Structure 1
Amino acid sequence: MKVICQTVLSAMALLVLVSNEERSVSAAAVSRAKREEKYTTRYDNFDVAGVLASKRLVRVYLNCLLETGPCTPEGRELKKYIPDAIATECIKCSPLQRKQAGIVLSHILLNYRDDFNKLSQKYDPEGKARKMYNIDQDGDDDYQDLEEA
């Protein structure tokens, strides 16, 4: 009887090890697949500089993202991807999309601080991205608000 119990326990231990190994492999495969998955490149030729040069167009996109106004097709697409891009540190972004996102966010941060704060509250309420990129919340550049959060 003792030999049978030891055999059963050994078999169960082996099953748990194999099961955990499969889970690790599956998690790694899913993680790799997510890294390989990319956002659409349909709007990669979008004139970001042209939009940022127009206060009216910037306002249209900000209103869309803040859900205080209608959205263009590009705005709807952008709004759909923002939460995932923040959560995954833009892992699905192409190099061009990362560059454009940086340009847009810098422009909004510098020229539309209140709207930037509203966007941050809406799409990153825990402030993970703000902390990761050392973005001062109140614009006084003392960064104390990062330490408090």
Structure 2
Amino acid sequence: MKLLIASLLLGCVALTWARARPADHYTDKWDNLNVEEILESDRILRGYVDCLLDKGRCTPDGKTLKETLPDALEHGCEKCTEKQKDKSDRVIRYLVNKRPQYWKELSKKYDPNNIYQERYKDKIQEAKGN
């Protein structure tokens, strides 16, 4: 489950704010986004989570994330920029360690068969500090 969310979040930051550029990368439009500001705001973070879980409205950025996340999970964020990968790692660490319920909910939706959890096991264990 945590692997799913790791993958989810891995793609989350990268995908959260990314649209596919022709060919090989998602847009870098959101590379300078302050992810910590989002993670520190219960209201904003819950908005993104609710969007991803179909429990609330999506902002344009949330909608883009929701559309891009499955591709990022499936392909290991290969279209992500380095900044997006770094931010995804931060989001994963935060959710695994500070918001495990969000992680669980997102995993249930985006990885019900634990495919991504297994694929990204090392990344999730790293986030947990194990």
TM-score after normalising by structure 1:
0.63
Q: Structure 1: any 5+ residue segments left out of the alignment?
A: 1-35, 142-149
- Summarize deviations over 1:42-97 as a string: whole Å, max 9, x none: 11111111111111111111111111011111111111111010100111111111
Please, which of 112, 115, 118 is the counterpart of residue 128 of structure 1? 115
Q: 5+ unaligned residues in a row in structure 2: which ranges?
A: 1-22
Q: What is the identity percentage for the equivalent residue pairs of Structure 1 and Structure 2?
A: 35
SS in 2 for 1:107: helix
Cα pair 1:43 1:74 within 8 Å, conserved = no
Matched, 1:118 2:128: no
Structure 1 stretches of at least 4 aligned residues deviating more than 3 Å after TM superposition: none
How many Å separate the matches in 2 of 1:88 and 1:78?
15
Q: Secondary structure at the match of 1:42?
A: coil
Partner of 1:64: 51
Say yes or no: does 1:98 pair with 2:85.
Answer: yes
Match of 2:61 in 1: 74
Say what the alpha-carbon RMSD is for the aligned residues. 1.9
Kept in 2, the 8 Å contact 1:64–1:75? The answer is yes
Q: Does 1:83 align with 2:70?
A: yes
Over residues 5-60 of structure 1, what are the superposed CA-to-partner deviations in whole Å (9 max), with x where a residue is unaligned? xxxxxxxxxxxxxxxxxxxxxxxxxxxxxxx5111111111111111111111111
Deviation at 1:127, TM superposition (A): 1.3
**2:78 aligns to what SS in structure 1?**
coil
1:86 and 1:124 in contact (8 A); partners too: no
- CA drift at 1:129: 2.2
Using CA pairs under 8 Å that are at least 6 residues apart, name the structure with larger relative contact order, 1 or 2.
Answer: 2
Q: Give the TM-score of the pair, scaled to structure 2.
A: 0.71
Q: Equivalences for 1:22-61 in 2 at 5 Å?
A: 37-61=24-48
